[in-house]
Amino acid sequence: MKKFEEKTTATERIFEGKVISVRIDEVRLPNGKSSKRELVEHPGGVAIVAVTEEGKIILVEQYRKPMDKTTIELPAGKREKGEEPIVTAQRELEEETGYTCEKLEYVHSFYTSPGFADELLFLYEAIGLQKKENPASLDEDEFVELMEVTLEEAVEMIQDGRIQDAKTIIGIQYLQIKNK
């Protein structure tokens, strides 16, 4: 038995989408009372810290509908069903940035919103980046623009709010700690 476990007594499926699904679980709390939990199921994904030979971090600028904002993030993407995260990372690095790499080193994995969603992200560092001549291209509904910034610039972008994405802050702080 997990500590403070909430046993599910009933489940209502609300929505089955292409990316997310939503359900409500009725649960029995540790004190015996009942409550409801609104839950989002997500396939999870990867994010990649990729530093070029010139010491620049590759970032991706893209429009994000949930916030109606253009954001600056690490290269990242969702896992296909049954796909190993490292394979997702290889694919997304090439599609989003046009780079391949010699090796992907695992850094951390983390849940992005454990209060309501099961999304788990695997963070990798790309070692030995190489520009590919004819890289695989993006999905047809993805529009992104690449940026390359120094670590100092990236840290400044966190401080002034131009970078406001959890996985990207984790990746940049990882580099700060590694380079200290």
Among 51, 76, 49, which residue's Cα sits nearest to residue 61?
76
Q: CB-wise, 37 or 100, nearer to its own copies?
A: 37
Minimum CB–partner distance for residue 138 and its own copies (Å): 11
Compute CA distances 176 → 51, 70, 170, whole Å: 13, 25, 10
Q: Cα-flanking dihedrals φ and ψ of residue 85, to 5°?
A: -55, -35
Minimum CB–partner distance for residue 108 and its own copies (Å): 6
- Two tokens, residue 135: 């890289």
- Two tokens, residue 160: 């002034």
- For residue 152, indicate whether it is catalytic: no
Q: CB-wise, 100 or 110, nearer to its own copies?
A: 110
Q: CB-wise, 69 or 103, nearer to its own copies?
A: 69
Minimum CB–partner distance for residue 127 and its own copies (Å): 19
Q: Are 29 and 35 in contact (CB under 8 A)?
A: yes
How far is CA 80 from its chain centroid?
A: 14
Q: What is the largest CA-CA distance in the chain?
A: 61
Minimum CB–partner distance for residue 158 and its own copies (Å): 6
Q: Are 163 and 157 in contact (CB under 8 A)?
A: yes
Catalytic residue among 54, 133, 140, 152: 140
Q: CB-wise, 53 or 159, nearer to its own copies?
A: 159
Compute CA distances 105 → 30, 86, 91, whole Å: 40, 9, 15
Positions annotated as catalytic residues are 140
